[in-house]
Amino acid sequence: MAEKLLEIKNLKQHFNVGKSNMVKAVDGITFDIYKGETLGLVGESGCGKSTTGRTIIRLYNATDGQVLFNGENVHGKKSNNQLKAFNRKMQMIFQDPYASLNPRMTVADIIAEGIDIHGLAKSKTERMERVYELLETVGLNKEHANRYPHEFSGGQRQRIGIARALAVEPEFIIADEPISALDVSIQAQVVNLMKKLQREKGLTYLFIAHDLSMVKYISDRIGVMYFGKLVELTTAEELYSNPLHPYTQSLLSAIPLPDPESERTRQRKTYDPAVHQYSADDKVEMREVRPGHFVYCSEKEFAQYQKEYKS
Ligand SMILES: Nc1ncnc2c1ncn2[C@@H]1O[C@H](COP(=O)(O)OP(=O)(O)OP(=O)(O)O)[C@@H](O)[C@H]1O
Ligand SMILES: [Mg+2]
């Protein structure tokens, strides 16, 4: 059994909007992330994917719940040194590689920011050597070090963002739609780079996406979110071959098929949350329908999913 790197337990992030409104962006999600895996997180716009990532990495304080990293509570009371150590272990890559890179800083300074904060280089020379090495690692080169972000293409900027994240030698990277803003032709290159880095450095990824084709390619397991809840979680292969939650089925039915003939006859399934009809005493929770295949459901639905699976 693989080792758990993160345990997310009943995590909630509720935002107060105005005087009397509350958005339950993340509303009680529970899942583990194993060492060395890529966990994909999908769901339509506004379902809470980014908020989940941001809360895990402590950009927000959690409204409720726990995040354990190597067994240690990320959100508990911490000294500044402990917080700094966490910041080093968890890094984030963002969707828009332009907005997330300071336009006034050279690539070298952008990449070395974490090295400076955490005192990872003993001298200026060592710092620059580290920057050059990181540039090579992400498929750029020395000559790029003294240039500014605007001189690069979208794909190259994302490589700079990746180098910046790697600079502090993290164990875990949250990638929030890292390829959505890139040309399709560049997307695979960045994903392949991320895969290569994962193999070489034993990294663990939380890969947030709303494009279901790319996420299948990169993820070992995939979680599906709907309105702040995780509704299904299983291996990538299993999710696509045996989706059980009606929302997952609807999401998958929206993927265009490569074969024109099947695409012409593709049936889109719409999801109607009213199909669930939960009553007050229904215990609705993540239940393991098959080993490693979790679905958010009541006991009655659980029995139904099991039957469905057998037939
Ligand atoms: N800082 C905030 N304050 C108030 N509401 C917020 C905040 N951040 C997010 N929300 C709301 O929380 C919900 C979830 O947003 P989130 O950005 O996590 O969704 P997402 O799944 O990442 O969507 P997308 O695919 O568009 O990136 C949305 O209704 C959003 O408007
Ligand atoms: Mg988002």
Residue-range domain boundaries for the chain: 4-242, 278-311
Does the CB atom of residue 188 touch ligand 1 within 6 A? no
CA of 260 from ligand 2 middle (Å) equals 31
The answer to whether 177 touches 208, Cβ cutoff 8 Å, is yes
311 residues of the chain, pLDDT tens digit each:
689 999 999 999 999 998 889 999 999 999 999 999 999 999 999 999 999 999 999 999 999 999 999 999 988 888 888 888 888 999 999 988 778 899 999 999 999 999 999 999 999 999 999 999 999 999 999 999 999 999 999 999 999 999 999 999 999 999 999 998 898 889 999 999 999 999 999 999 999 998 788 899 999 999 999 999 999 999 999 999 999 999 999 999 988 888 888 888 888 899 999 999 899 899 999 999 999 999 999 999 999 999 988 77
Strand order across the beta sheet in which 38-42 lies: 90-93, 172-176, 204-208, 38-42, 221-226, 229-235, 293-297, 285-290
How much distance in Å is there from the Cα of 16 to the middle of ligand 2? 18
- The per-residue pLDDT for 130 is 97
**Residue bearing the CA closest to ligand 1, atom 25:** 45
Say if ligand 1 is within 6 A of residue 50 CB.
yes
Interval between CA 294 and ligand 2 midpoint (Å): 23
The per-residue pLDDT for 1 is 62
Test site for ligand 1: of 17, 21, 23, 212, most ligand atoms within 8 A of the Cβ: 23
Task: Tell me if 46 CB under 6 Å of ligand 1.
Answer: yes
pLDDT at 83: 87
Rounded-to-integer distance, Cα 45 and Cα 251, Å = 12
In the prediction, which pLDDT does 256 show? 84
Ligand 1 atom with least separation from CA of 210: 25
Q: Which ligand has the nearest atom to the CA of 210?
A: 1
Q: Which ligand is nearest to the CA of 46?
A: 1
> Tokens 């700079």 appear where?
160
* Atom of ligand 1 minimally distant from the CA of 177: 27
In the chain, how many H helices and how many E strands?
A: 11, 12
φ, ψ of residue 228 in degrees (nearest 5): 80, 0
> What pLDDT does residue 82 have?
87
Of all protein residues, whose CA lies closest to atom 17 belonging to ligand 1?
Answer: 50
Answer whether 51 contacts ligand 1 (Cβ < 6 A): yes
* Packed helices 124-137 and 107-117: angle between N→C axes, nearest 10 degrees: 120
38 pocket-lining for ligand 1 (C-beta < 6 Å): no
pLDDT of the residue at 205: 98
Fold observed for domain 4-242: Rossmann fold (3.40.50)
Q: Minimum-distance ligand to the CA of 92?
A: 2
Q: Cα of 49 to ligand 1 centre, how many Å?
A: 8
**Residue 278 Cβ contacting ligand 1 at under 6 Å:** no
